[in-house]
């Protein structure tokens, strides 16, 4: 019998980053192994900078984006030392702190539950593409009005090694 060998997915993750306007991002890495990796910030189709890291004996590493590139809102690719390693973006502002898990790749579908554009609330979705070719994304949005049919939700181009912000408050105001 011909058996097909299982292929391990790459040990990488895509992370949202924001640097500037009073906000900073640190990428946190947690691992059960001592290993080396690389983090590359990207924007506008190219690498904005990269750095290597080691999880060391503690099994962790912290990567301040400010030491890599003045990026604004962007994204990064974490090349991790193994499959059982997690990465997260820690975003700090003047009065806020947020932690978001970095997504392992490749991801064909992602579910984002919740959000509102009622009463002028901002609701933005950041689409990140770490690959060397452009990506085309369709957003399927369900609101209290049913399935949203705005043509701007389909065929969204995300250039190579870039990210794109989709402002749902602008496209679908007053939705829950």
Distance CA 28, CA 23 (A): 16
- CA 106 – CA 111 distance, rounded (Å): 14
pTM score, whole prediction: 0.79
What end-to-end distance do the CA atoms of the chain give, in Å? 54
Q: Report pLDDT digits (tens) over 89-130.
A: 999 999 999 999 998 876 677 777 788 888 878 888 889 888
Strand partners, 25: 91
pLDDT of 131 > 90? The answer is: no
Contact between residue 95 and residue 142 where contact means Cβ atoms under 8 Å apart? no
């Amino acid at each position: 019998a011909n058996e097909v060998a299982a292929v391990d997915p790459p040990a990488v993750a895509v992370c949202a980053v924001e640097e500037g306007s009073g906000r900073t991002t640190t990428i946190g890495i947690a691992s059960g192994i001592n290993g080396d990796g690389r983090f590359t910030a990207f924007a506008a189709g190219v690498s904005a900078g990269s750095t290597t890291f080691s999880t060391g004996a503690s099994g962790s590493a912290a990567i301040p984006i400010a030491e890599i590139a003045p990026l604004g809102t962007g994204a990064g690719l974490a090349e991790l030392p193994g499959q059982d390693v997690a990465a997260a973006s820690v975003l700090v502002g003047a009065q806020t702190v947020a932690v978001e898990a970095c997504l392992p790749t490749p991801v064909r579908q992602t579910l984002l539950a919740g959000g509102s554009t009622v009463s002028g609330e901002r609701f933005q979705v950041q689409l990140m593409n770490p690959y060397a070719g452009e990506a085309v994304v369709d957003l399927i949005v369900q609101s209290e009005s049913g399935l949203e049919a705005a043509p701007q939700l389909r065929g969204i181009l995300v250039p190579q090694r870039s990210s794109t912000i989709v402002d749902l408050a602008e496209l679908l105001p007053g939705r829950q």
